[in-house]
Structure 1
């Protein structure tokens, strides 16, 4: 839907009336910009929905698009709130302060302060705990809802493993991980799980004996063939990345089952770079 600025202005003006409760005829430039962004946000929400009530390919009125988008955003808030309550009931931070504070302390602030009508583009939170594959181009409730969906997905994945095994692995990565660990927890778990598969040992415990470490290193650090020697470093990295992609996908598929989304393969490249520079990460 393409609207000209002059088509948006009546919508912004009506929103400004609500913002000031019609007690003022003027608002600041910053407030006007905020309200304009709010209108655009809701219109984009409407564009993102395929609804029978909207004629496909037809240009609906700007006010209608805005109100429909507002309703869609409001429903997303209700969906996100329900999902958050489901996550909070069984949430496990594995002792990681950053994870706990982001989800348990931070997220309720969003639902308290989020303004669907006047500033839906503002997600309020900095989301300090990084979930995997989050689309940071999204804003407002769209970003929060995706963040919560990925949090729920990661929680289910992590709970497959021994809780003590996950915590022991985090402690190996960062001695004072409870206070200082700021990265995603799934990343080291995926790498260790892949190493367990490579060493043909039990995955659930995330534990590698000395002989398992040797077996995993041999599997991952296979030298390139003679045919690859012309560009051995690059080919070796690609080979390592492909191996990790396969094992990450096996882990995700077997653990998530009907909820499988195939998103963890994207972590293989960064893991390959880190593993290639520090094999002790296994």
Structure 2
């Protein structure tokens, strides 16, 4: 029993060290794109976790509510496992967003929501939706403002092609995109792939309601 406890404690100590190391590697170039929720959760919140985390007596206590939402569900985790998954996910989001100039990202965020600074939405998902929309239309990512004909074309696409086929096409396209621009980072690919289904449904709903211009 005591040996099992010691092994468990050693695991928690090692995981805490890994999480802190990862956090310290992400933080210097971290950008919150003026989003308060992301800043408060990552820059203010995470250090408080490491400050108060009790490895010995409460290793399962996550301490933080982690208000900033991720593109993956980490609700099954607790304590340092949850914090580690959160930090790792933020690192992947930062890697994805860093491909674009900060002003470009903010432009997309402000187009999606004029109050993006106070928004509690995942900013990576908003930019990723923009990217997916452009990929579907075969448009350069440098084109921020699309034309009415582009939106009409996408509306027709959703009317004529099954959602499942669109998802499959995007999964293949995303793999090529990650290979070309992110050195084939499989973790990033897996992280973003998990969001495709939801984004495609969101785009379809926007197409059905003729409000695609609000999100891409």
Structure 1 spans left out of the alignment, 5+ residues: 1-61, 225-235
Structure 2 spans left out of the alignment, 5+ residues: none
- Please say if residues 196 and 212 of structure 1, whose CA atoms lie closer than 8 Å, have aligned partners that are also in contact: no
State how far apart, in whole Å, the 2-side matches of 1:239 and 1:209 are: 24
- Give the CA deviation at 1:134: 3.6
Equivalent residues, number: 208
- 1:212–1:93 distance in 2 versus 1, CA, 3 Å: farther
- 1:106–1:206 distance in 2 versus 1, CA, 3 Å: farther
State how far apart, in whole Å, the 1-side matches of 2:145 and 2:156 are: 14
- 1:7 is matched with none
- 2:35 is matched with 96
Given the alignment of the two structures, is residue 186 of structure 1 paired with residue 114 of structure 2, yes or no? Answer: no
TM-score (norm 1): 0.68
- 2:9 is matched with 70
Partner residue of 1:146 out of 85, 91, 96: 85
Given the alignment of the two structures, is residue 124 of structure 1 paired with residue 63 of structure 2, yes or no? Answer: yes
- Please say if residues 68 and 122 of structure 2, whose CA atoms lie closer than 8 Å, have aligned partners that are also in contact: yes
State how far apart, in whole Å, the 2-side matches of 1:212 and 1:66 are: 64
Higher relative CO (Cα under 8 Å, sequence separation at least 6) belongs to 2
- 1:187–1:80 distance in 2 versus 1, CA, 3 Å: same
TM-score (norm 2): 0.87
- Give the CA deviation at 1:269: 1.2
State how far apart, in whole Å, the 1-side matches of 2:158 and 2:184 are: 33
State how far apart, in whole Å, the 1-side matches of 2:143 and 2:10 are: 45
- Give the CA deviation at 1:215: 7.6
Q: Secondary structure at the match of 2:135?
A: helix
Given the alignment of the two structures, is residue 111 of structure 1 paired with residue 15 of structure 2, yes or no? Answer: no
State how far apart, in whole Å, the 2-side matches of 1:112 and 1:201 are: 47
State how far apart, in whole Å, the 1-side matches of 2:149 and 2:101 are: 18
Given the alignment of the two structures, is residue 156 of structure 1 paired with residue 84 of structure 2, yes or no? Answer: no
Give the alignment of 1:171-210 within 5 angstroms.
Answer: 171-179=110-118, 181-203=119-141, 205=142, 207-210=144-147
Question: Which deviations, in whole Å up to 9, do the C-alpha atoms of 1:197-218 show, x marking residues without a partner?
Answer: 2333322x36243167348616
State how far apart, in whole Å, the 2-side matches of 1:141 and 1:209 are: 44
- Give the CA deviation at 1:270: 0.9
